Amino acid sequence: MTFHVSQHKLQRSALRQGIKEGSLSIPYILLRGYSRLHLSELDMMLLLHLIAFVDKEKIQFPTIQELQERMSAPPELVISSLQKLLKEKIILIEDHKDEETGIHYERYNLDPLYDKIADLVLDEQLKRMEEHPAEPEGSGNLFSIFEQEFARPLTPMELETISGWLDQDQYAEELILAALKEAVFAGKIHFRYIDRILLEWGRNRIQTAQQAKEFTQRFRGSR
């Protein structure tokens, strides 16, 4: 009996890890803002299945039947939702040619959806800038500084992360820039590392760039 219980726990642990690794990445701002795109819960669920088919399963053009089989909504509502997404250009159907075989086939293009998500991020940035205009001697545009350090345009997900630091976590701009500077110094210029820095500073009640500088100096001096 003990053996079977232990085996069950091991199997469940392995399955749990597999479930985590097989998860689907959904832009958080899409979950927060889909109603602003005039999408219903049914539209949203259909989009999630399309994202899963295209990005996770590499099925570029799932059939109506395949979509219906994964949803509890009546078939006619699934079709109606799909027609709505196409009509409002949330998604597109495009003709594609396989360069090796020369065969033409149709596939879903989700880029319009991601463009609309990016527009949501930009709208939030503009609203925040209007509500909290930068001081003349301020640090400049936070997003532009990040793009300069990363030497490339930021992705919608990265823009959303910075917005989350400002709006949800309530980090001061100077503290975010200090974390960026620390990441550059460490040669680890990626968002996950910057987020860890901010979390560590938050646990130590650090709220200003000067406090962060003093904390970092003490940390390096103790090593």
Nearest alpha-carbon partner for 91 in 145, 37, 142: 37
Residue 213 has pLDDT above 50, yes or no: yes
Based on the number of CB atoms within 10 Å of its own CB, is 65 exposed (0-12), middle (13-18) or buried (19 or more)?
Answer: exposed
Give the integer Cα–Cα distance in Å for 142 and 177.
8
pLDDT score at 137: 40
pLDDT (tens digit per residue) in 22-47: 677 787 778 888 998 999 999 999 99
Residue 196: is its pLDDT beyond 70? Answer: yes
Q: Give me the pLDDT at residue 97, please.
A: 85
Do 25-113 and 140-221 have matching folds? yes
DSSP 8-state class, residue 168: T
pLDDT tens across 64-112, in order?
999 999 999 999 999 999 999 999 999 999 998 888 888 899 999 999 9
CATH class held by domain 140-221:
mainly alpha
Does the pLDDT at position 48 exceed 90?
Answer: yes
| CA angle centred on 213, ends 209 and 219, rounded to 5° | 140
- pLDDT (tens digit, 9 = 90+) per residue, 118-167? 888 777 766 766 665 554 444 448 888 898 888 888 888 888 899 899 98
pLDDT above 90 (res 12): no
Q: Output Rg (C-alpha) for the chain, integer angstroms.
A: 23
Which CATH number is associated with domain 25-113?
Answer: 1.10.10.10
The pLDDT score that the predictor gives to residue 71 is 95
- Structural domain boundaries of the chain? 25-113, 140-221
Amino acid letter, 172: A
CA 4 to chain centre: 41
